[in-house]
Amino acid sequence: MRILGIDPGSQTTGYGIIESDGSVHTSILFGAIRTQTRRPFPERLLKVHDDLMAVLVRERADVMAIEEVFYASNVQSALKLGHARGVALLVAARQSLPVFEYSALEIKSAIVGYGRAEKSQVQSMVRFLLRLPEVPAPNDAADALAVAICHAHRLRSMS
C-alpha cells in the first residue's frame, strides 16, 4: 500500500509517500512545500494545493494520512494551520483518497513507542524504519513520513 503522509503548515507543508506492507516500509518520495510569507495568504494556499496535486501526478498514493491540528501558538496561527490542512484534505478528495487523521501523540507512540518523544527521536526512528542513510530533511518531510509510518502501523495492528 502506498501512503501519503502530510504534515500541514501555512509556511511549510511536509509530504512523504511510503510503500508498506505493514511491517516493511520503503520511502518513495518526500519533501516540503515552502510558501513565501510575504505573498497573500490565498496564493500560499494555492501553492500548497498545486504542489500536492503535482506530487500525486508524479507518484500515486492509495490513502492520505494527516496530522491533526493539536497546538498553535495563537488563534491566528491555528486558523492558518487549519486552512492549510483543509487544502490537503481537498487534494485528497479530488484524488478520491481515503483520509486518516492522527494526533501528534498517536504518531510519536507509533514511531518511538512513547507519545511524549522528542522530535529528534522521531526523526531518528523514521530514518531507521525507512532504512535511509540520514534523517530526512527538512524536518517537515521527516514529520510527514512519520505520519505515513504511523498509518502503516495502525493498519498492521487492525489486521
User: Catalytic residue among 19, 67, 106, 143, which?
Assistant: 67
In the residue annotation, 68 being an active-site residue is answered as no
Answer whether 3's CB lies under 8 Å from 151's CB: yes
CA torsion sign for 143, 5, 85, 108 is negative
User: Catalytic residue among 106, 134, 140, 143, which?
Assistant: 140
In the residue annotation, 7 being an active-site residue is answered as yes
User: Catalytic residue among 7, 43, 59, 101, which?
Assistant: 7
Supply 133's cell numbers.
542513510
In the residue annotation, 140 being an active-site residue is answered as yes
Please report which helix (H) or strand (E) contains residue 115, including its range.
none
Q: Which residues contact 127 (CB under 8 A, 6 or more apart)?
A: 134, 135, 136, 142
- For the annotated catalytic residues, the residue numbers are 7, 67, 140
